Every structure is written in structure tokens, then in C-alpha cells.
Homo-oligomer: A and B are copies of this chain.
Amino acid sequence: MNVLPIDTPAVLVDLNIAEKNIRDFQRYCDQHNLRLRPHIKTHKLPGLAQYQLAQGAVGFTCQKVSEAEAMVAGGAAGDILITYNILGAEKVARLRALSERFTLSVVADSQPVIDGLSVGFADAQQPLPVLIECNTGADRCGVSTADQAADLAAEVEASPGLRFAGLMTYPPIGQAGRVAEWLTAAIDLIESRGLKVEIVSSGGSPDMWQAHQMPVATEYRIGTYVYNDRSLVARGTCDMSDCALTVLATVVSVPAPNRAIIDAGSKVLTSDLLGLEGYGHVVGHGDVVIDQLSEEHGRLVSAAPIDLEVGQQVRIIPNHACVVSNMLDHVMLMRGDVIDRKERVSARGQVW
């Protein structure tokens, strides 16, 4: 048995694959004149954010103020878009502090969010760029109509300390036409009212290779592509060999001919199914299903006698990489099977 000298369970990131993923999609964006703004929520590592910037990303996306703080503290200083309604005086104050040292923009989809930002930035030297978040069909956040988008754009522009910078959407998967129609109508309406729509930000890993089919977007946000995962393999977005993040686990019990137990449970693999059967793909054991997770146990079952023994290490491609990289304090950075270094995941475990 080939056993890596790594205590398990561990999250391994193959830098060779991650860097190739970054370069490949950057090349695609360059070919299509699309500005790439990677989402750091997937890796939460300043080192990879720096690599993304060095390859040509125009900046990066964060989902939380603490993620932005961790990136810049770790040396990844770029143009940061926080794609979240930031509420509360404390968070707005941290945003303000960050904006005085770095290029920053945010989103809003309601008057209370705009008002809170305006209070915090009223006496700022530079107005804070605010994008209006639009619900183009994913039914999460975002205004529902082009009219609402135009109204809020005007509200932003009229608010002390803020300036309207454009539109942002978290689009539904596979509906580029509908999304483009929605955004185009909003742009037309906003520009008819005399405001310029400088940025139109869309994104999403599942549709990444179709990003060029929606030219209305000026930039593309994407997170999972850096690691890929079983859900993107299932969608045909990538192959198993493109998956940079794996969980290394040890078989701790083979108590029955068709069952083995590993030391990776829901506290590392997470319960995210994303519509798939089982909690991950066991590399080299395509017949095995991870059918049940306890907190520290993963149960592997197979129709034929299971080809695993106690003490053996297995590698698992998780269903959803973005949540797995958030579970442990450290990831192990690899180059193939060679350990590069152990790295602290800097932006995890934070409240916000």
C-alpha cells in the first residue's frame, strides 16, 4: 500500500491541477475578451488569489468582508467586489476601512442596504461603487424587474458616499438567453435615465465554457473552477483528472465483505449532495458508493466484495469543493504525490 505521510483526514490540493485550471479558463476569457474576476470562496488562500491575479484576473470576488480582509492580509491585493448585501454598522465600518486601502465595490438590492452603506461612506474621500443585484431567475437575492433596478441605481447615485457602478447577477444555470434579455432591458432603462452602466457582472462554474454566449456581461465571476469537483464532472464541465481538491482518508474498518469505514465524515466531506448519489467519488474505486456519513465516519459500500483493507489510504473527490476547503484549519498543498507545504486556510471559521 502506498501511504502518504499525512495524518488523515486531510484536504489535499494539487497545485499543478489548480494552476492549470486557472490558466485554462484565463486563456478562454482572454480569447473572448471577458474580464475574469475569480471568487475566492472556493480556496480562501491568498496564494491562489495572487496566482489568479498574476495570470490576468481583473480582481477577485468575495462573499464576506472577512474574506476580503483575509485576502489582503495575506498579500493578495486586487480590485475586490463583495457580492453581498452588507448590513450593520460594524460590517460597513470594516468595509470602509478596507476601501481606504484597496479598490472595492459592493452590491445592493434594497433601499435599507443603500442607506446603511451611505451612512458609512458619506464622508469618504472616494465614493463607494455599488452594483445593483438583479434576480435573473435564480430566485435568491436581487431586484425582480428592470424598473426596480433603475430606481435603485438612481437611489445609489443620489446617495452621499456612493456611486452607481453597474449590475450584478447570480444567474440561473443554462439560461444565458433569458439572463441577457433581463440585463439588456435594465441597462436600456438605466441609460435612458442618464446613468452609465459601467460593469455587468455575471458568473457561475457550471456554465463557464458558455460564458462568451452572453456578451452583455463585461465580467465573469467564478469560484469552483479552480478546484473542480464531482458535481462539475457530473455536469460535464470538467473531467475527474481536472479535480485539484481531494480528501485523503484512511480505511479504519472493513467489518463486512461489502462495507468499509473511513475516517472522513460529514465534518470534512460535508453533507452536500448537489443532486448526486453518495457523498463523493472514491478515486480508483468506481464501484464504491459513500452511502452514509456520520460526523467522523464515512461508510463505503459496494455490490461486489469491497477491495479495501484496514490502514489503506483512499482519496475522495468531494461533491462540492467549496464547502470542503472550509472545514479544516489547513490544506496540504501538493505537486502530484509530492507534498509542497501545509497551508493555513486563512478566511475560514470567521463569523463574517
Neighbour of A110 across the interface among B84, B87, B254, B299, CB < 8 A: B254
Of A137-145, A180-188, A205-213, A228-236, the one contacting chain B is: A137-145
Q: Are B7 and A299 in contact (CB under 8 A)?
A: no
Q: Are B85 and A252 in contact (CB under 8 A)?
A: yes
> What is the interface residue range for chain A against chain B?
35 or more
Question: Which residues from B are CB-within-8-Å of A297?
Answer: 140-141
With A112-B310, A140-B294, A322-B295 known as contacts, the answer to whether A266 contacts B270 (CB < 8 A) is yes
With A91-B7, A140-B299, A266-B323 known as contacts, the answer to whether A110 contacts B350 (CB < 8 A) is no
Q: Are B113 and A310 in contact (CB under 8 A)?
A: yes
Chain B residue at smallest Cβ distance from A86: B252
Q: Mark A247-259, 1 if CB is under 8 A from B, else 0.
A: 0001011111001
Main secondary structure of the interface of A (DSSP, over half): loop
A8 within 8 A of B: yes
A315 within 8 A of B: no
**How far apart are the CA atoms of A252 and B329 in the complex, in Å?**
28
With A7-B351, A84-B252, A255-B142 known as contacts, the answer to whether A272 contacts B266 (CB < 8 A) is yes
A145 to chain B, nearest CB (A): 11
Please provide the chain A residues from 64 to 105 with a CB less than 8 Å away from any CB of chain B in the complex.
64, 84-85, 87-88, 90-91
Q: Are B310 and A87 in contact (CB under 8 A)?
A: yes
A290 within 8 A of B: no
A166 within 8 A of B: no
Spell out A's residues near B (CB within 8 Å). 7-10, 41, 63-64, 84-85, 87-88, 90-91, 109-110, 112-113, 116, 135, 139-144, 250, 252-256, 259, 261, 263, 266-267, 270-273, 292, 294-297, 299, 309-311, 322-323, 326-330, 348-352
Closest 6 pairs (CB-CB, A-B): A329-B349, A271-B271, A85-B252, A141-B253, A112-B310, A63-B296
List 12 additional A-B contacts (Cβ < 8 Å) besides A110-B255, A329-B350.
A64-B296, A84-B296, A85-B310, A87-B250, A87-B311, A113-B310, A139-B259, A139-B299, A141-B297, A266-B272, A270-B270, A327-B349
